Amino acid sequence: MPSTVTQQQTAICSKILEQKIVAIIRLKQQADVAPLLDSLVEAGIKVLEITSNTPGFEQEIKSARARHQHILVGAGTITNIELAKKAINAGAQFIVTPNTNKHIVLLAHQHNLPVLMGALTPTDIANAIEYNADIIKVFPAGSMGIGYFKALKGPFDSANLMPVGGINLDNLNQWFNAGACAVAISSDFSKVIKNQDDKHALIQLVHDYLASIPTG
């Protein structure tokens, strides 16, 4: 990270890197967000992102921050400045993009917020580093494979690379062994909680993920 980062940016990034898992919430119905988010927090998740293509994402970010002041709530799928402004106004504590956009970094850093910036190719990653992105989100990582990610760590060994897409319990440790600083989980966690059985199943799944994270 550049020398101009603020204490707030550093603290938020440190927590993300310490927790090693970001839970992505992407749902079709706004009413389903709070039950899922509350279940994830109850299970032990401390870093979540609510995507901009989830209906009412701004309201849900505000609500989540009010209910859970000890966790980090960020905004995901922030593809342009307009969405970034909405996310910041909603109180997002970090910004996640699927693409590489220097203007989003500039805006977020003006508000002391870190950016987890989407990048795929070596050129994307080099640009994201030049734009002072705080963490590089390699996306879609699963489509390219762990070998590709490991190859990226060669020239970019000092960068914080976080694979997103295709991460599951079966390959979680392989991604960390390949050099991932953290991972983000979407499909396994973005589930509609209809009843107590759904909630208990999700909580157990989260516990399995947390127990599989390498320490140190």
- In the residue annotation, 137 being an active-site residue is answered as yes
Amino acid at 105: V
Q: Which token pair is 115? A: 């950016």
Task: For residues 201 and 205, give the distance between their C-alpha atoms in angstroms, rounded to a whole number.
Answer: 6
Around Cβ 211, how many Cβ atoms within 10 Å? 9
Task: For residues 195 and 72, give the distance between their C-alpha atoms in angstroms, rounded to a whole number.
Answer: 26
Task: For residues 199 and 44, give the distance between their C-alpha atoms in angstroms, rounded to a whole number.
Answer: 13
Annotated catalytic residue within 20, 137, 191, 199: 137
Task: For residues 99 and 97, give the distance between their C-alpha atoms in angstroms, rounded to a whole number.
Answer: 5
Task: For residues 109 and 93, give the distance between their C-alpha atoms in angstroms, rounded to a whole number.
Answer: 11
Annotated catalytic residue within 20, 46, 49, 58: 49
- In the residue annotation, 49 being an active-site residue is answered as yes
What does the DSSP 8-state code read for residue 116?
A: E
Peptide bond into 35 cis (omega under 30): no
Kindly list the catalytic residues: 49, 137
